């Protein structure tokens, strides 16, 4: 759509509707709102079907609140990730419709509930990986995807995983989440025929090196059909899965 905007812009210019300076200014300046410390990309919803998402980590509460206010006034849904409960309490004062998922640490404002389409399977290997899975699920749901979740099915107990073969066969896309050995990913990928998005987690200790171990496992996955996102990046996996499922 930038292309169409540029064409329209050029035509407006040709027809003398706008001046050279205005054209130049517009050409360089796609619509976003500048808060000084942040620039809110309101036109992302047009490009990608979903508004910009706010990673709260590393931002002050004051900054988060101002960004929320900028986003809230549009018609779009709002998603804030890695948000502490303290931040949620402050955001709630601005808009009491926001919801908090304490495991996922997400704040959501769903202006109009989207239809949940398709089917994305979210598998996680251990109980301690659940917060990452929940972040993926919140992301998937607010982006309009139907989710099936299956928890605690690491390969240490293969039957637990095999019980869910049907879910694996029926998914449009699978998000497989694991810390420690990360070995459920190659196993799931060997059984699945849809794309598998792998999420390493920092769950573990010692030689897991904060998630490096499952990250390497997943990058070296023998079974094809796997791609990997950053350690603990449930949001990224959910977003990526949504781009596949909503296709």
- Work out which of 104, 107, 120, 153 binds its own copies, going by CB under 8 A: 153
Q: Where are the alpha helices (DSSP H) in 38-157?
A: 44-48, 61-72, 85-94, 130-142
- Across the strands, what pairs with 148? 121
- Token pair of 152 as six digits: 């605690």
Q: Is 114 in the site for its own copies (CB under 8 A)?
A: no
For the CB of residue 104, give the shortest distance to its own copies in the complex, in Å: 14
Helix (H, G, I), strand (E, B) or coil at 207: helix
Residues 183-212 that bind its own copies (CB under 8 A): 183, 185-187, 189-191, 193-195, 197, 200, 202-212
By CB under 8 A, what part of segment 65-94 binds its own copies? 67
* Span interacting with its own copies, options 58-66, 70-78, 85-93, 107-115, rule CB under 8 A: 58-66
Of 161-180, which residues contact its own copies (CB under 8 A)?
Answer: 162-163, 165-166, 169, 172, 180
Q: 42: closest CA among 57, 55, 26, 30?
A: 30
Tracing tokens 């497989």 back to the chain, one arrives at 176
Q: By CB under 8 A, name the one of 72, 92, 114, 155 that touches its own copies.
A: 155
Give the span between the Cα atoms of 166 and 123, in whole angstroms. 13
Can you tell me the distance from the alpha carbon of 116 to that of 139, in angstroms, rounded to the nearest whole number? Answer: 12
Choose which of 126, 141, 145, 147 interacts with its own copies (CB under 8 A).
126
**Rounded CA separation 223/192 (Å):** 10
Q: Which stretch binds its own copies (CB under 8 A): 59-67, 69-77, 91-99, 109-117?
A: 59-67
Shortest CB 96 distance to its own copies, Å: 25
């Amino acid at each position: 759509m930038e292309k169409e905007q540029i064409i329209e812009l050029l035509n407006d210019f040709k027809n003398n509707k706008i001046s050279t300076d205005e054209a130049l200014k517009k050409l360089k300046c796609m619509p976003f709102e500048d808060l000084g410390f942040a620039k809110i990309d309101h036109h992302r919803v047009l490009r990608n079907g979903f508004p910009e998402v706010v990673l709260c980590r590393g931002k002050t509460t004051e900054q988060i609140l101002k960004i929320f206010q900028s986003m809230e006034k549009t018609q779009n849904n709002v998603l804030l990730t890695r948000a502490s409960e303290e931040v949620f309490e402050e955001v709630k004062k601005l808009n009491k419709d926001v919801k908090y998922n304490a495991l996922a640490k997400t704040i959501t404002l769903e202006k109009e509930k989207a239809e949940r389409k398709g089917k994305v399977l979210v598998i996680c290997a251990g109980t301690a990986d659940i917060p990452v899975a929940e972040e993926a699920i919140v992301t998937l749901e607010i982006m309009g995807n139907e989710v099936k979740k299956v928890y605690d099915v690491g390969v240490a107990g293969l039957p637990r995983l095999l019980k869910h073969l049907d879910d694996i066969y029926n998914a449009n896309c699978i998000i497989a989440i694991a810390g420690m050995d990360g070995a459920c990913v190659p196993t799931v990928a060997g059984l699945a025929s849809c794309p598998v998005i792998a999420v390493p987690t920092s769950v573990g200790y010692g030689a897991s090196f904060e998630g490096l171990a499952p990250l390497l496992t997943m990058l070296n996955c023998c079974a094809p059909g796997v791609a990997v996102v950053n350690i603990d990046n449930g949001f990224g996996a959910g977003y990526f899965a949504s781009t596949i499922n909503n296709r």
